[in-house]
Amino acid sequence: MNTRTAPPSLLRPEDLWSRMLETTRHGLATGALQPIATECRTLNHRGVPFQVRMLGRAHLKDERAKREPPRATPFNPFEHPDPDLVVGGLTPTHVCLLNKFNVVEHHLLIVTRVFEEQESWLTAADFEALALCMSGLDGLAFYNSGEAAGASQRHKHLQLIPPLGPDGLRVPMETWLSAPLARGVVKTVPDLGFGHVATGLGPWEDVPARDGARMLEAYLALMAAAGMGTTPLPPYNLLATRDWMLLVPRACAESQGINVNAMGFGGSLLVKTAQQRQQLEEQGPMELLRQVTRPVVLG
């Protein structure tokens, strides 16, 4: 029988990694955590070592077998989270979970305790909870707002993964984002061939309230620069590390059958078949990203 010590009431940054490892072991043992097997290849394009993962045949077969008639009310896995996937509480408003169907290891979800729409504005509370996790895990944070941006659940959740890139990069795309970006300055990075705006976050303080407030300030500046103040909000992806933040306005969810979410703009793409992978190699990942984004012209 698998037993597990009850998590503390609220997580501290220094306890996040050990608690995540413990929850991962428990989730695998109970079957609550169901990693998705993929084959990963590196595809170098325009100086970026893109990671291209292809779903395994077993997963595609399972997906076909699991198809069910649509529910009258869509299932919300975050309304009552599986306790075997709960890493711990973060703040009075947010909780940290493991991603049940993870493609990369140690994929965390930062979820609101009370339902909020995924397409609503991010708030100070969202960023404070995210900053707490980022102080414990120096990786890539991201957010998919809207179906056209790759969101699969309506319940608001941010995401955080460990570093993916080679040579100390948190993501492959950091090849073009590693040069310091100034805090308070919104710009585009010419080497990124897709629509975006970016800004620096300044020195990380490991104080969630202050780090979160700085992230909120950057987010609002990027949204304004990209003309994202309309209601309802247009679809977009947000990516952030301790050093920078990137906003990507979306035009569509996919191109030629290849879906793209925020991780794609970090340099990690997922394809379903060898044919899609070959197609991606022929056109180049940056061209795919350009096709699914909306151009941004700074005034």
18: exposed, middle or buried (C-beta count within 10 Å: 0-12, 13-18, 19+)?
A: exposed
List residues with catalytic annotation. 157
Distance CA 241, CA 261 (A): 17
Distance CA 118, CA 111 (A): 10
Distance CA 257, CA 106 (A): 27
Distance CA 220, CA 197 (A): 12
40 contact partners, CB below 8 Å, separation of at least 6: 51, 52, 53, 54
Distance CA 49, CA 209 (A): 34
